[in-house]
Structure 1
Amino acid sequence: MLEAPITFELKLDRIIPVGGDHLVLGIVQRVQVDSAAYAGNYKTETERWKPLASMAGDYAGLTSTFSFDPGNQE
């Protein structure tokens, strides 16, 4: 699992037309997590596996973590 330390096996649930495109929904059947990406206590160690998201052809990664307290807005 060098290329994808976390993988999901999905079963197609439905395809919904949205404008000129489609939203594809699936049901998770199986998840595999490489031990190097697992931080314990049902959490992943994102610094070890550097996840990416595809954004309409471009890719985005994670930045440093931060906290937000909506009750403390100054």
Structure 2
Amino acid sequence: PGKPNQNAYVESFNGRLRDECLNEHWFPTLLHARTEIERWRREYNEERPKKAIGGMTPAAYAQHLANTDIITPGL
């Protein structure tokens, strides 16, 4: 396996998952754990603003792209 300092993005994600989800909940069943982790993952991936896309949420950015005419060179 790689070293933690070789993939800062993954390590950051793992830390956030642990701090914001795993350490905050008691999971009495596997189904409950899966449900809470999926809820957190969706919020993390779809609802949080991201610097890489101009501070927009991924959902807003996807809508922006859907409303943008994209010109493909050579067509």
Q: What TM-score, normalized to structure 2?
A: 0.29
Greater fraction of residues in helix: 2
